[in-house]
Structure 1
Amino acid sequence: MATIINSARDAAQALEAASDVLGAGFPVAIPTETVYGLAADATSAQAVSRIYECKGRPRFNPLIAHMADLAMAERHVVFDPVSRTLAEHFWPGPLTLILPLKTDSDVHALCTAGLDTLGVRVPQGFAGSLIAHFKKPLAAPSANTSGAISPTTAAHVEADLGDKLTLILDGGACAVGLESTILKVEDGVIHLLRPGGLDVAEIEAATGLTAQRPASAGAIIEAPGMLASHYAPVARVRLNAADVRADEALIRFGGTPLPGESAARLVLDLSPTGNLREAAANLFGYMKRADASGARAIAFGPIPAHGLGEAIRDRLERASAPRPSSAPRS
């Protein structure tokens, strides 16, 4: 089982221990403001391969390279004016930019899944300090089995991947609770590849540009989180529920009860006051609790489409997508 170090209380010990494991070519689970990441040296083929192996992640699904700051990112990717404005405005923070990879970058090709672009992000807090201390970018997808619910606490990581890791850093619950928003700028146009922890309205306000959504599902996988089925619990997921059926767990929003919920396996409210930021922070943890209840299905009440509701609904739609290789509880 993995050793767990409290990175909030013992930051110096956590930095040294993590750097030792990373330097040996092995992944470390680290806290970020979005979700816990499975971090490894982005310049090492062996280290990046171990991320894919540990998660069971398909290798056509690219990884985000996390940087200490904008200066480190500039050594690996080419910034256009709009992307630079976004980076200067929102980094460190829950924003990933897909940018052309420089020919002299030493980020390994396994991170890009054969693309000529690289997703880059500068995380807040301890993760950024670790990258600066390690002096190399870290590839760090969510620290969970591929396709499953993302972890927002160290306990989530330990329960899923604890027997595959040597070190987990515990920084407490993630403040944002959703993966980063992913953007790609082409010819001055902002394309939203994945809604996430940064509200699109803030992006549009900072740039004066309207973010374009994908025309349809099934686009080329050029960023994480674009697979149709993702973030999935074992139980079947039912969206926009108007009532609760037998043997279901309920996750609702806004403090509004649903008919039949008195007989539910479990009732959770993402935010009784209707706060979408609170709802985003609670989403994955509540999904794990509902899944652990043993319910045949998890019913979700309606979620607003505005603000961070767009990212929450994106995660739920992918969680409810068909999963050919697995079956719901019977």
Structure 2
Amino acid sequence: MRGSDPAAVAALKAGGLVILPTETVYGLAADAGNPRAVAAIFEAKGRPRFNPLIAHVADAVEAGRIAVFDDRARALAAAFWPGPLTIVAPVRDRERVCDLARAGLDSVAVRVPGHDRARAVIAAFGGPVVAPSANRSGRPSPTTYADAVEETGFATAEAVDGGDCIVGVESTVVSMLDGRVTLLRPGAVTRAEIEALIGPIDTGGDGHRSPGRLALHYAPDAPVRIEAMQARDGEILLGFGPGSGEARWSLSPSGDLREAAANLFRRLREADRERPTGIAVAPVPDQGLGEAINDRLRRAAGFVG
């Protein structure tokens, strides 16, 4: 099922779905301006239609055609694109990103992915594509080609193998609306990096404008228990840091947060295939990239506090 870039572009133009690699997670891509193609994404994923999608574009110039950016948004784009940052801004062109993709909102979420092959496909397509994670809704996001095909390959016309995702958690989402800057979803671009560039940012509010905000999300079949020091009977413990045991069951034996993020969903999936009674995850520091890791773990456990 490994598709070429021209075949992927042709499938997008024909209204089909394409598994597309990004640096964060694998996406299930479609023409952002084609309501029927976008509807097929919601159907394939079993995703609620009130949950907006992110428009992926080839460069900041294209982003400016679909969204209205102020000076702070342009500063973030210049600093972090291509890369794992999504900016939510007032929509400029409602046709290029259709109403269904935006969940009927007057805003649009947009980013320039940091994966060369993804950008090449999007540039050749010639317009924005929506590309939510290529998994069934609520499941752990796929960070390998095989996991993406296993999850949603049945619904796709083409699938592009771009190797394992190097970031491993979804993009940071920042809202730039009504003069406020709000962190809607933590990710690999950290709160500190954003604030160093544009000043203090808020948290919370406008959560309906961002994907990945459901209370139970990123969840394997086995129940997830977080901040666990040891496994209970039948559980698998995913350790973190020195002394965390065999590498197979550690997010990062050295305690490196970037390694832990890259391993997070893959380890959850590997552990889940063992059919344990549960998956326990050791404490992960909550600063820097740890904020994004813990956000995903809390939602996988069905706890958002």
What's the offset of the Cα at 1:267?
5.9
Give the total of aligned pairs: 302
- Per the alignment, residue 321 of structure 1 pairs with 302
Instruction: Quickly say closer, same or farther: Cα 1:73–1:294, change in 2 above 3 A.
Output: same
Asked if 2 retains the 8 angstrom alpha-carbon contact of 1:75 and 1:105, the reply is no
Q: Which moved further from structure 2: 156-165 or 73-82?
A: 156-165
* 1:49 corresponds to 2:39: yes
Out of 273, 276, 287, which is 2:268 matched to?
287
Match of 1:4 in 2: 2
Question: Contact 2:237–2:249 (CA<8 Å) still a contact in 1?
Answer: yes
For 1:49 and 1:187, the matched residues in 2 are separated by: 29
Q: Please, which runs of 5 or more residues in structure 1 have no aligned partner?
A: 6-13, 323-330
Which residue of the partner structure matches residue 326 of structure 1?
none
Indicate whether 1:269 and 2:250 are aligned: yes
What's the counterpart of residue 138 of structure 1?
129
**Which residue is equivalent to 1:127?**
118
Is the contact between residue 99 and residue 117 of structure 1 (CA under 8 Å) also seen in structure 2?
yes
TM-score (norm 2): 0.95
- The equivalent of 1:205 in structure 2 is 196
Q: Cα distance, 1:166 vs. partner?
A: 2.7
Distance 1:143 1:308 in 2: 22
**Whole-angstrom distance in 1 between the partners of 2:66 and 2:13:** 20
Secondary structure at the counterpart of residue 183 of structure 1:
strand
User: Does the 8 A contact of 2:223 with 2:277 survive in 1?
Assistant: yes
Post-superposition shift, 1:220?
Answer: 4.6
The structure with the largest alpha-carbon Rg is 1
Query: In structure 2, what is the equivalent of residue 66 of structure 1?
Result: 56
- Alignment match, 2:155: 164
How much does 1:187 deviate?
Answer: 4.9
CA contact (8 A) 1:239 1:316 kept: yes
Separation (CA, whole Å) in 1 of partners of 2:207 and 2:9: 34
Cα distance between partner residues in 2 of 1:170 and 1:139: 18
C-alpha displacement of 1:256: 3.0
For residue 79 of structure 1, the aligned residue among 47, 69, 74 is 69
Residue 213 of structure 1 aligns with an amino acid whose one-letter code is: T
Amino acid across the alignment from 2:2: I
TM-score where L is the length of structure 1:
0.88
The amino acid that maps onto 2:91 is L
Q: Deviations over 1:7-51 (max 9, x none)?
A: xxxxxxx22100111111011001100000000000101110111
- Return the alpha-carbon distance in structure 2 between the equivalents of residues 223 and 32 of structure 1: 18
Structure-2 residue corresponding to 1:243: 230
Q: Deviations over 1:193-245 (max 9, x none)?
A: 000121221111222x1222227xxx651110111111000000001112210
Give the secondary-structure state (helix, strand or coil) at the position aligned to 1:152. coil
Distance across 1 between alignment mates of 2:248 and 2:227: 15
Question: What root-mean-square deviation, in Å, do the aligned CA atoms of Structure 1 and Structure 2 show?
Answer: 1.7
User: Is it true that 1:16 corresponds to 2:6 in the alignment?
Assistant: yes
Identity %: 49
Deviation at 1:172, TM superposition (A): 0.6
| Residues in 2 aligned to 1:255 and 1:220: alpha-carbon distance in whole angstroms | 36
Q: 2:292 aligns with which of 308, 311, 328?
A: 311
The letter for the 2-side match of 1:92 is: P
Alignment of 1:20-35 (within 5 A): 20-35=10-25
Unaligned runs of 5+ in 2: none
Q: Deviations over 1:239-258 (max 9, x none)?
A: 1112210000111110234x
AA aligned to 1:245 is R
Please say if residues 30 and 168 of structure 1, whose CA atoms lie closer than 8 Å, have aligned partners that are also in contact.
yes
Q: Does 1:94 align with 2:92?
A: no
One-letter amino acid matched to 2:106:
D
The secondary structure found in structure 2 opposite 1:291 is helix
Q: Which runs of 4+ in 1 moved over 3 A?
A: 186-189
Q: How does 1:179-258 map to 2 (within 5 A)?
A: 179-207=170-198, 209-214=199-204, 220-257=207-244
CA distance in 2, matches of 1:147, 1:28: 20
